A and B are shown apart, each in its own frame.
Chain A
Amino acid sequence: MAFSRKSLGIPYAVFLVVFVAAPLLFLFYYAFTDGQGQFTMQNLLHFFTDPNTLGTLYYSFSIAIVTTVVCLLLAYPVAYILATSRLRQRSVILMLFVMPMWINFSLRITALKEILNVLEGNLAMYPFLNAVIGMTYDFLPFMILPLYTTISRLDGALREAAMDLGANDVQTFLRVTLPLSVPGIISGVSMVFLPAMTNYVVLDMLYNSTYIMGSLIGSYFAAYNWHGGSMISLILLAMICLFTLLSGSVEEEGSARGALL
């Protein structure tokens, strides 16, 4: 048999089938069947009629949006200042912001929990606030990095051109720098918003009593309700797909430059 370069792709094809396609098919199967293996739309109906699941969806959205906005507001100035400064140590400072990522996740959250305990007394009193603090702490580097990359790649001559044409610093920022950093904002937002929608370990560890989508799915599976849990997972997946497609199209429209890590 002649060696074909295509055969090099076989391991990847196997990987995709076993770890991506097959689980998705299982998810579909469970989502649209009941305990007896019969096709049913009951799970779907249940999701949209149960105030509990809808409430959780709404709550998850709120947490994810607030976390994303807080991350963006914190990260943009940091990224902007670092990317535009002439500081020789700027890569060191950037590293300091990113360094928490190198430390074990549960260790970080445990430490945060202790700090919040001291500050708040009873963690259960401020579930929403704690969720946002925990996730912001966890996801901030994912917002800073793409923003930093995008802004530092902006041609400095563009800012100078704007000033040359009569724009002061604020106008230059609003008319040139900000619009041109949109690709970075979009990748930062996707990298924070998506995990914020699904991550529930942070909340669990902060003794959070409230449910978000992730914990809701977890609880279904813990109760052996694989069909309900699969449906919620599928719906979440669909929403994330939609979000990614939307942000992707905005990005393409804005400019052709990609800006990931």
Chain B
Amino acid sequence: MEKKDTIIELRGVSKVFEDNGFKAVDNFNLEVKRGEFVTFLGPSGCGKTTTLRMIAGFDKPTEGDILLNGESIVGLPPYRRPINTVFQRYALFPHMNVFDNIAFGLRQKKTAKDVIVRKVKHVLELVDLEGFEERGIGTLSGGQQQRIAIARALVNEPEILLLDEPLGALDLKMRKEMQLELKSMHDKLGITFIYVTHDQEEALTMSDKIVVMSEGRTQQIGTPEDIYNEPVNAFVADFIGESNIFNGMMTGHLKARFCGGEFSCVDDYEEGTHITAVVRPEDVEITKPGEGTITGVVDSVIFKGIHYEITVLSGRNEIVIQTVRNATVGDRVGLRVDPENIHIMLAEDHTNKFYADINPDFRLEYNGHRIETSLTKIIRGSKRREDGTVVDAAGEVLEPGRVRILVSIQPQDIEMTDDQDAGLVQGTISNLIYKGDHYSYIIHTELEQDFVVDDEDLWNMDDRVGLLMPVDKMTFTLKRK
């Protein structure tokens, strides 16, 4: 394989917008090899477009440097960079026909007339729109405009082609076609492509290298396979494809406990390490009850064309499964996952999270116990009306059953007690590990929810305990179903 050199490098690039102080990009580092197809992938507002605009020259980095072929281009205006952009909504000049649009860049470079005519013709063939020279922009369909926008950029033979969500405005079928065409254009031309999208499937299909971004930071850089199979954190796992993500703990050599069961896995961490486990929906197998690692009840079945999407409730955990075999709502089933299909990563934090429900009196409830706080205190802008219902800031009723409250509490803030009924929830100590100055316990509750509790005292395995959780140590987030 030939050795490829670096065409563009971003070093510690940050961007803070002056007008609102928003940090759109935070310490972005990336090297792109000549001829690579690199995709910036992330939800809207993650900084991917801003990064692209800094490469194009429309925005200036507040910090850091951008090197093109080893030389800084930060000071160069867009019109002096050998880089062309395909804009999100094409940005074709409406007062010019197709030929003039495509010829714009060449005329700017004072290219000879006959050369322009030849090059425009050639690039129109490339995008499969021969003979469109005289057409007005307004007479073109979305897909055709898209191709003209690509042609207008490619005709300048840029060193790098930037594409800012170029397929976002097209319908699904068109988008699939264009994905393949762009990919083959890239292979044919050998130009470096930097592509921005929020569509993970698009990124996985087209890219040599994906940069997953969130809140201005790079989360993971790698090949599509790497990113799909070995996500480095819960964000990437969640964003790339559908995932079941569980908090858990290593319980032994190649054994992890999560989702109310002990699973064998192939990633090894020290016993007692808090982990996040990721299981892809297509990797969960439905078995007879009792034959799987955990059991649960089928909650919903949705037909998706080539597969069924089945949701199984196991205790408080919800597991999404994609399978070609149908199931019936209400069935008890067993679930198992092949060890190689469980991806274990270090948990970023050990915060306990659980859902509390709103009861018909609009009080917060968990496990049949009241949580002694009021909804109006924890949901900003909410009000209790005279009829006893609670409405949010927009005046919408927080209907029990449609709204849940995600409660977070740190392991050191939970206290264990022998007086089981005094606790908000009861469970059995299923694991303990000594962490130097304290023990870290996993309490397995009857609701199939595991709690992590830090305690200085030694308790015994299999002790039944109640868990005391002070309300002032809880944080609450409103979640709608």
Pair A166/B79 contact, Cβ less than 8 Å: yes
Whether the Cβ atoms of B105 and A166 lie closer than 8 Å is yes
Q: Of residues 66 to 93 in B, which have CB atoms within 8 Å of A's CB atoms?
A: 77-79, 83-85, 87-89, 91-93
Most chain B CB neighbours (cut-off 10 Å) among A161, A165, A175, A182? A165
A160-190: which residues lie under 8 A (CB-CB) from chain B?
Answer: 160-168, 171, 175-176, 179-180, 182
Q: How far is the CB of A73 from chain B (nearest CB, A)?
A: 22
Q: Do A165 and B105 touch across chains, with their CB atoms under 8 A apart? A: yes
Determine if B141 is an interface residue (Cβ-Cβ < 8 Å). no
Q: Which of chain B's residues have a CB closer than 8 A to the CB of A179?
A: 95
**A166 and B95: CB pair below 8 A?**
no
- A257 contacts across to B, CB distance below 8 A: 94
Q: Is B91's CB under 8 angstroms from A166's CB?
A: no
- 0/1 interface trace, chain A 239-261, chain B, CB 8 Å (1 if under): 00000000000000011110000
Contact: B91 with A160, CB < 8 Å? yes
Chain B 14-38: CB-based contact to A (< 8 A → 1; otherwise 0)? 0000010000000000000000000
Residue in B closest to A155 when the chains form the complex, CB atoms? B91
Contact with A along B193-204 (1 / 0, CB 8 A): 000000000000
Give Cα distance in the complex from A162 to B105, angstroms.
8
Query: Could you tell me if A162 and B104 are in contact, using CB atoms closer than 8 angstroms?
Result: yes
Task: Determine which of B19, B58, B79, B95 lies in contact with A168 in the assembled complex, contact meaning CB atoms within 8 Å.
Answer: B79
Task: Check if B4 is an interface residue, CB within 8 A of chain A.
Answer: no
Contact B93–A161 (Cβ < 8 Å): yes
When distances are taken between beta carbons in the complex, the residues of chain A under 8 Å from B449 are none
Q: Are A157 and B91 in contact (CB under 8 A)?
A: yes
Residues of B close to A162: CB separation below 8 A: 93, 104
Q: Which residues of B contact A158 (CB under 8 A)?
A: 91, 93
* Residue B325 lies at the interface, judged by CB distance under 8 Å to chain A: no
Complex alpha-carbon distance, A155 and B92, angstroms: 10
- Find the B residue at minimum CB distance from A180: B95
Q: How many A-B residue pairs have CB under 8 A?
A: 65
Question: Is B56 positioned at the interface, with any CB of A under 8 Å from its CB?
Answer: yes
Are A165 and B95 in contact (CB-based, < 8 A)? no
A60 to B153, CA, bound (A): 50
Q: Is the CB of A163 within 8 A of B95?
A: no
Residues of B within 8 A of A157 (CB): 87-89, 91
- Interface positions, chain A 132-178, Cβ under 8 Å from B, are 155, 157-158, 160-168, 171, 175-176
1/0 per residue, CB under 8 A from A, across B102-136: the answer is 00110011000000000000000000000000000
CB of B73, distance to nearest CB on chain A (Å)? 14
B residues near A176, Cβ cutoff 8 Å: 93
Q: Mark B48-72, 1 if CB is under 8 A from A, else 0.
A: 0000000011100000000000000
Size band of the B side of the interface? 20 to 34
- Across the interface, which residues of B come within 8 angstroms of A155, CB to CB? 89, 91
Contacts of A160 in B (CB 8 A): 56, 58, 78, 85, 87, 91
Given the known inter-chain contacts A86-B19, A157-B87, A256-B138, please indicate yes or no for A164 contacting B79, CB distance below 8 A.
yes
Determine if A161 and B94 form an interchain contact, defined as CB atoms under 8 angstroms apart: no
CB-CB < 8 A to B311: which residues of A? none
In the complex, what distance in Å separates the CA atom of A165 from the CA atom of B92? Answer: 12
Complex CA distance for A155 and B85, rounded to whole angstroms = 16
Cross-chain contact B77 with A165 (CB below 8 angstroms): no
Q: Is B147 an interface residue (CB 8 A)?
A: no
Q: Does B218 contact A (CB under 8 A)?
A: no
Q: Which residues of B contact A167 (CB under 8 A)?
A: 79, 104, 108
- Which chain B positions have C-beta within 8 A of A171? 108
Whether A163 lies near B79 (C-beta < 8 A) is yes
- Which A residues, 71 to 116, have Cβ-Cβ distances below 8 Å to chain B? 86
Interface of chain A residues 198 through 257 with chain B (CB within 8 A): 254-257
Specify which chain A residues have a CB less than 8 angstroms from the CB of B104 in the assembled complex: 162, 165, 167, 175
Judging by beta carbons under 8 Å apart, are B95 and A161 in contact? no
**Identity of the chain B residue whose Cβ is nearest the Cβ of A159 in the assembled complex:** B91
Residues of A within 8 A of B58 (CB): 160, 163
* Residues from chain A with Cβ under 8 Å of B78 in the complex: 160, 163-164
Can you name 6 extra interface pairs (CB under 8 A) apart from A162-B93, A162-B104, A179-B95?
A157-B89, A161-B93, A165-B84, A166-B108, A166-B109, A255-B94
- 11 residue pairs bridging A and B, Cβ less than 8 Å apart: A157-B88, A157-B91, A161-B85, A165-B84, A165-B108, A166-B105, A168-B77, A179-B95, A180-B93, A182-B95, A257-B94
Residues of A within 8 A of B (CB): 86, 155, 157-158, 160-168, 171, 175-176, 179-180, 182, 254-257
Chain B residues with CB under 8 Å of chain A are 19, 56-58, 77-79, 83-85, 87-89, 91-95, 104-105, 108-109, 138, 152-153, 156
Query: What are the 3 closest A-B residue pairs judged by CB atoms, nearest first?
Result: A166-B108, A165-B105, A157-B91
